[in-house]
């Protein structure tokens, strides 16, 4: 438990429940790498004819996320796929389909799903990491805190930037729910809202277009589904020591609909 007075203050004022994903010493049904294991048959996702890479899966029942992400289904498995060939960044509408989440809601014994033969070896995660969850209280980035009306004093700034590493106990910052730990800007909910709605977010003119204004006026209930960090154990690096952030609308997740998720890649 962190004894920092700064952390306790920020957790009280801004805290949001989250779950850190840690390596498990025993076999679990939540893991990164390897092959999918499902109770119901799935069709391997592809984009432009290319098979996506399997990143891993989360078993919703055993992780017990009701206090962290009550908008998620209580049972089934979420399978995460990503186009490691093209590595989309998530700031343009055409990135859709380069990241897929499948909710396997079948019951009974799980069966391995073999990888497609045309999925090249370099686009397969070479490691395998079984996962367990640890609930904790996440705190916002300084950028997000500023948007929320908060401010750090100069004497708190140095300690603040060391807090996230301490929160994750020097482990990769894999996480479900809560606030993201951004590598770059912390406006990902808006990026998801705009890019998924047809706005190219890499252009200032389109970013302020009439369509962008219309999308901003709509309800924005995007929440962090999974933050997947660069991980030496998995022999995987996203860009230059970056992260993948999978997002979903809470309203979609409550309905068990993961067909419209969005993903953002950020790196140094």
The mean pLDDT of the chain is 94
pLDDT surpasses 80 at 23:
yes
As a residue count, the chain comes to 268
Asked if the model's pLDDT at residue 217 lies above 80, the reply is: yes
Q: Residue 54: CB partners within 8 Å, gap ≥ 6? A: 34, 35, 36, 79, 80, 81, 115, 124, 125
Domain span at 80:
5-266
Predicted pLDDT of residue 81: 98
Rounded to a whole number of angstroms, the distance between the first and last alpha carbons of the chain is: 29
pTM: 0.96
CATH number at residue 119: 2.30.320.10
Rg (CA), the chain: 18
What is the rounded CA–CA span in Å between residue 102 and residue 114? 16
pLDDT tens sequence across 218-242: 999 999 999 999 999 999 999 999 9
Percent over 70 (pLDDT), the chain: 100
- Is the C-alpha dihedral spanning 194, 53, 250, 31 positive or negative? negative
pLDDT tens-place string over residues 125-149: 999 999 999 999 999 999 999 899 8
Query: Which tokens sit at 70?
Result: 């009550």
- Count of structural domains, the chain: 1
Residue 255 pLDDT grade (very low, low, confident, very high; cuts 50, 70, 90): very high
pLDDT digits (tens, 9 = 90+) for 55-74: 999 999 999 999 999 999 99
Query: Does 1 score more than 80 pLDDT?
Result: no
């Amino acid at each position: 438990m962190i004894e920092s007075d700064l952390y306790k203050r920020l957790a009280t004022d801004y805290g949001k429940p989250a779950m850190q994903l840690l390596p498990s010493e025993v076999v679990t049904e939540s893991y990164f790498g390897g092959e999918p294991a499902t109770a119901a048959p799935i069709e391997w996702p592809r984009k432009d004819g290319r098979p996506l890479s399997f990143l891993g899966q989360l078993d919703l029942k055993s992780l017990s996320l009701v206090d962290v992400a009550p908008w998620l289904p209580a049972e089934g498995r979420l399978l995460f796929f990503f186009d490691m060939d093209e590595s989309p960044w998530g700031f343009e509408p055409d990135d859709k389909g380069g990241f897929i989440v499948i909710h396997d809601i079948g019951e009974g014994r799980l069966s391995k799903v073999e990888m497609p033969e045309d999925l090249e070896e370099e686009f397969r995660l070479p490691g395998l990491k079984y996962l367990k969850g640890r609930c904790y209280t996440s705190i916002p980035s300084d950028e997000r805190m500023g948007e929320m009306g908060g401010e750090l004093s100069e004497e708190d700034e140095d300690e603040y930037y060391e807090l996230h590493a301490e929160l994750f106990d020097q482990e990769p910052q894999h996480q479900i729910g809560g606030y993201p730990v951004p590598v770059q800007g912390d406006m990902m909910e808006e990026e998801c809202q705009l890019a998924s709605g047809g706005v190219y977010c890499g252009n200032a003119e389109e970013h302020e277009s009439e369509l962008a204004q219309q999308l901003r006026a709509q309800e924005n209930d995007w929440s962090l589904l999974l933050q997947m960090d660069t991980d030496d154990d998995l022999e995987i690096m996203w860009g230059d020591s970056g992260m993948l952030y999978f997002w979903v609308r809470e309203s979609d997740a409550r309905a068990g609909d993961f067909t419209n998720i969005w993903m953002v890649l950020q790196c140094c």
